[in-house]
């Protein structure tokens, strides 16, 4: 794994890994497949490593996306229990709301650019630090791990970006959260409608 491509290669490998039916396979086979997938990104295709092609569309995944994919991979491998529904919804709400705050304005809706807040992000660090503490006390450990690891990676400059937002969010995370919230909302509405009315 070359240093500058680590997040793209890891994202590509984990993304494929979670789609493979490996739940009941041995640990050694699961590990071997993951390592093979990590190596896959480096396979040269027309003079470029394979991972350079998905990078044309998604140059770098956020740390939050990598932690999420890592968690799902652990669940698929049978090494972790799935999150309770309430904790999943908390994650969708948290990162869906951050995406709603960031993307429309950063793409030009209105004069304010919240993306600029991500450089030397003193206010963001205070707000998200307090939010992480609250989530810790509420027992949302995966959400806390996502915020903590994203912040640590930002402090260490582990991605190409100098902007805190790029460690927290990417469009794939946000679109997934929005879709998951829509599906959850539709299910709730459907179950409420199909419940028989009391006389």
Partner 1 sequence: MNQPKSKRAALVLGSIGLAAIFAFAWQARPAPRLAEFALPQTQVVPLPDQQVPVFESRFASSSFRNFAHASAISALPNGDLLSVWFAGSREGASDVQVRGARFDARTGLWGEEVVLATREETQQGVKRFIRKLGNPVLAVTPDQRLWLFYVSVSIGGWAASSINAMYSDDMGHSWSTPRQLVTSPFLNISTLVRGAPVLHADGSIGLPVYHEFLGKFGEYLHLDADGRVLAKSRISDGRFSLQPTVVPLDQQRAIALMRHTGEDRRVLASRTEDAGRTWSRPEVLEPNNPDSSLAAIATPRHGLLVALNDLKEGRFRLSLYGTDPQLQQWKPLLDLDESPDEDGRPIEESSYRRIVAEHFLKSSGTQAPGRLEEFLSSIDHRFCSKGQCKFTYDYPYVIRGADGRYHLVYSWNHSLIKHISFNDAWLETQL
Residue ranges binding partner 1 (CB under 8 A)? 2, 4-5, 8, 47-49, 51-53, 55-60, 102-103, 106-111, 113, 115-116, 118-122, 125-126, 128-129, 132-133, 136-137, 144, 148, 151-152, 154-156, 159-166, 169-171
CB of 197 to partner 1, least distance (A): 43
CB of 68 to partner 1, least distance (A): 18
Q: Which two tokens stand for residue 101?
A: 């705050």
For 40, 76, 182, the CA distances from 80, given in Å and listed in that order, are 26, 8, 26
CA separation for the pair 49, 55 (Å, rounded) = 10
CB of 119 to partner 1, least distance (A): 5
Nearer to partner 1, 30 or 151 (CB): 151
CB of 40 to partner 1, least distance (A): 15
Alpha helices in the chain (DSSP H): 6-17, 27-40, 54-57, 63-76, 85-106, 122-137, 141-156, 164-168, 171-194
């Amino acid at each position: 794994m070359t240093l500058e491509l680590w997040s793209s290669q890891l994202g590509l490998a984990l993304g494929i890994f979670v789609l493979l039916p490996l739940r009941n396979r041995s640990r050694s086979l699961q590990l071997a497949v993951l390592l093979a997938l990590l190596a896959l990104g480096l396979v040269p295709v027309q003079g470029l490593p394979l991972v350079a092609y998905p990078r044309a569309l998604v140059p770098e995944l956020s740390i939050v996306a990598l932690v999420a994919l890592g968690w799902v991979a652990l669940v698929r491998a049978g090494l972790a229990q799935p999150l309770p529904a309430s904790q999943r919804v908390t994650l969708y709400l948290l990162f869906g709301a951050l995406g709603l705050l960031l993307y429309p304005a950063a793409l030009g809706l209105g004069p304010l650019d919240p993306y600029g807040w991500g450089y030397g992000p003193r206010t963001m660090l205070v707000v998200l630090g307090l939010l992480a503490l609250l989530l810790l006390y509420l027992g949302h450990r995966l959400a806390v791990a996502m915020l903590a690891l994203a912040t640590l990676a930002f402090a260490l400059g582990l991605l190409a970006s100098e902007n805190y937002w790029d460690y927290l969010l990417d469009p794939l995370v946000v679109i997934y959260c929005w879709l998951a919230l829509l599906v959850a909302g539709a299910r709730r509405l459907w179950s409420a409608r199909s419940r028989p009315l009391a006389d």
